[in-house]
Structure 1
Amino acid sequence: MADARSKATEKYRKANVKSFNVKFFPSDAEVLEYFQGKANRNQYIKDLIRKDMESRKRPKTYVFETANEGDVTITISGEYVDWCVDMKADISSTGDHHEWTEIDGGSVEEIFEWLMDKGVEFESDRSLWLNLNYVEQVMIDRSKTEEQLLDYAASMTDEELKKWREFYFDI
C-alpha cells in the first residue's frame, strides 16, 4: 500500500510541481549569505514574488517640478500587462491632463513630448533626461534605481545630454 501511495505521489509531483535552480556567483556572496540565513527559503522566494506582483497593481505617482509650469504629476494606473501600463500626466499650473494606454518604457518619450508641446520647460537637458528615465527605468521597467540614474546622469557631459535630447526630440 505504501508503495502505491509513493508512486502516486511521485506521479503527481512530476506532473504538477515545478522547481528552479538559482545560481550564485562569487560576486553574489552577500546575497547568498543573506539568503542562506532564511529559515524557509522556498517560502521566502514565493513571498518576494507575491510582493512584487502586488506592487505592480498599485498606482504609482511621480511628481517633479518644471522650470516654468510648476509641478507635473505622472501616475501609473492599472496593472502591468505584458510590461505595459496605463499612465496619465497632469500639469498643475495649467490643469492640462492627458492619459495614455499601454505605455512601455520605450514609449515614455510620448509623455514628455506632450508635456513640451504644452509648454513645459525643463531646467536643463540633464533634468529632462533624469525625469524621463525615472519614469521609464524606475517606475515602468524597474530596471534601475533612482541612485543608479543619478550616478549615471552625473557622469554624462552636457554635450552627450544635448545629443540625446536632439535625437529623441528632434530639437
Structure 2
Amino acid sequence: MIVQIAGNVKYPITLDPTVWIFDDRKVTYDEAFGTGEKEQDEEDELQKASMRWDREIYQQKIDPPVNRSISRFEREKILKETYLMDLKPFISTSEPASDLSGVTLETTDGDVEVTVEKMRQALALFSVEGRPLKEDGPLHLYWEDGSNKDEPIKGVKKIIFR
C-alpha cells in the first residue's frame, strides 16, 4: 500500500496513503470537483478551525500541548467520505530535476506516460467511504481540472520522473 516517487529527483520519497486519512490537507471528492456543498463545508471547516483554536489556547493556559484526539463527529465523517490528497507538496519535497522529459506511472495495468505539467496538478484518491483502496489501489490519480474525473488512472504504485 505504498507509493514511491523516484527517478530524476534529488530526494526519492516513499508515500503511505493509509495515514493520509488523518492529514488536514486532504480534501473530499465533492470539494475537489465542486458538487455544490462546498460553501457549507467551508463554513463548517471555518467554525471547526475556530473551535480547535479556542480549545488549543485554553489547553495551553492549563496544560502543555498534547495531541488532539478526533471528535466523534469527525470520526464518523472520516468513515463516510471519499478523500483525495494534492501531490504538489510531495513532488516539491522530492525536488525533481529542472530538465525533465516526462513522468512514468507504474500501475497494476502497465505503465502510463504523462507530462510533468499534468503530474504537478495531480490529486490522489486514497480513500473511498473511509476505506483505503485495496483492489485497484493504492492510488487513483485525477487532474485538478477534472478532465479525467470519469476515467482516473488507477492502481498507481510508483511515480518515476525522467
| Fold match (TM-score > 0.5) | no
What band does the TM-score fall into relative to the shorter chain? under 0.3
Q: TM (normalized to structure 1)? A: 0.25
Q: Which has the larger radius of gyration?
A: 1
User: Which structure shows the higher helix fraction?
Assistant: 1
User: Which structure shows the higher strand fraction?
Assistant: 2
Q: TM (normalized to structure 2)? A: 0.25
Greater RCO, 1 or 2 (C-alpha within 8 Å, sep 6+): 2
